[in-house]
Chains A and B, each alone.
Chain A
């Protein structure tokens, strides 16, 4: 895989002495959607801000499409679009004017047709002459996305793009991001909503206390760390797990009314069928079965708490 962003040995210590990033190495592949997960204060925004040129690194290098973001900042930044977390907009400006401004600022000649395309893509064309202050929060977020896209970047950073956005709009935004990926844009998003990463990302990186603790294909991650559970609801409560079933990783729950069987998704054969036969032979009746798979959220929580 060709990497479009290469972060090497990146460290950031703020003037206060707070070390936000510790020796980070990270490669983002061209054309992927990469989700950066981490608790508040983990260093997600600092990492993005360094790549985009808003914060200066203490040590280490970042290459964006082969250009060093400090030494060769013009070439690097021209390829990057950033949608920051905060809804920062020029309240009194009109939508179209502010998006055109962004295009110029990033060194592209005026192109009203392209601005129209971008505004239509984020469903803001009808609002092109509206003052930004009159727009709803979701629309303002889309104005910021339009500003970030106005100069046709190859790399798009979305810092918490759906924070405070309602469910429907979030779905729209996901569709838009997928559309962008289809057009060849590499997307790096940070998010609190694990659901979002699970839904969108090709790969997931987890950052905690300024360190990248894991980077993995989402599917691999789910497979590797994901667990499946089978909950068996019994007709009559058990006081202990019968000896005949001692070889199974079973636990009793719900005052002995429930057997919980945890199995590895990677193992060959789940062993469910054998377990159920054994239950039958032992004369244990059950009235319901419920199997579940751990979500990315469970994986994330266990990863971060294991580090804490």
Chain B
């Protein structure tokens, strides 16, 4: 195990983040605050509570997940796309590092950033809405697992992308709609029956539902099912990454 290499990549990626710390932190904090002003205060005051949870508190887990998914994907995809774009990837490819070490470095750094960001959003939310976390350890577990899974997914996108448009298109066309339709701002049970069934095909529903359960102990879908779904997606991503390095897809000719 080339621990020095993992540390080098991990440190390098985090330092890239710290260099732009201002925008990395301020923009999600501002956008979260806006959500709370609009959905929590303006609209939420006219909404009844859902499953015994006030609307402002109800949307917190969904908002955290929304940011977590976006940040994980954009951090990880950008992290591996940039060296490909600038050509500096030659160094990683010619270094005595295994695929696992490269992934640990890049994905580990991206996941670290998004977990920190998720926690930051939770703190920000506390300024607007009082809430409690029923299962803090499970909450943290969901947070970390989701961050890792979607950082892996972002890593895959970053390798697949051969232009800046492709880097944006999956988050924009797939992830954002899935998160909005995934029950960030409402309970699945509020949908008409047909849409409830359709929603069950949306993987993000499981992420948000499980995460919300860790806060309030109530959820559309059982926490166990949610956990299984996250793990399943994690395994799919790991398999894809394994295949990428085995075949050298878009990395080596």
- Give residues in A with beta carbon < 8 Å to B: 14-15, 52-56, 73-78, 80, 82, 84, 86, 88-92, 97, 100-110, 147
Contact = CB atoms under 8 A, between A and B. Distances in A.
Contacts of A55: 252-253
Interface in B35-73: none
B90 interface: yes
A78 B5 CA distance: 11
Interface residue range, chain B: 20 to 34
A52 B94 contact: yes
Contact of A105 (B16, B19, B95, B252): B95
A54 B96 contact: no
Contacts of B8: 100-101, 103-105
Nearest to A83: B90
Contacts of B87: 84, 86, 88
Nearest to B6: A104
Interface centre among B5, B94, B98 (most CB of A within 10 A): B94
Given A105-B8, A107-B95, 10 more contacts: A54-B94, A74-B98, A78-B96, A84-B87, A88-B90, A92-B19, A101-B11, A104-B5, A106-B95, A107-B97
Interface string B71-88: 000000000000100111
B5 A88 contact: no
Contacts of A97: 12, 15
B91 A147 contact: yes
Contacts of A14: 253
A74 B97 CA distance: 7
B244 to A, nearest CB: 14
The 3 closest A-B pairs by CB, nearest first: A104-B8, A88-B87, A77-B96
Contacts of A100: 8
Interface centre among B19, B91, B92 (most CB of A within 10 A): B91
Contact of B94 (A56, A82, A89): A82
Given A54-B252, A92-B19, A105 B91 contact: yes
A138 to B, nearest CB: 18
A54 B9 contact: no
B5 A54 contact: no
A56 to B, nearest CB: 6
Contact of A89 (B88, B93, B98): B88
Contacts of B97: 105, 107
Contacts of B96: 73-78, 106-107
Contacts of B98: 74
Nearest to B89: A88
A104 B86 contact: no
Contact of B2 (A15, A74, A91): A74
Nearest to B12: A101
A56 B253 contact: yes
Contacts of B92: 105
A48 to B, nearest CB: 10
Contacts of B90: 54, 82, 84, 88
B248 interface: yes
A54 B88 CA distance: 12
Contacts of B252: 54-56
A74 B95 CA distance: 8
Nearest to A46: B253
13 contacts: A15-B253, A53-B94, A73-B96, A74-B2, A78-B96, A86-B87, A88-B86, A88-B87, A88-B90, A89-B86, A90-B88, A97-B15, A105-B91
Given A56-B253, A74-B2, A89-B86, A102 B91 contact: yes
B94 A107 contact: no
Contacts of A109: 4
A105 B153 CA distance: 23
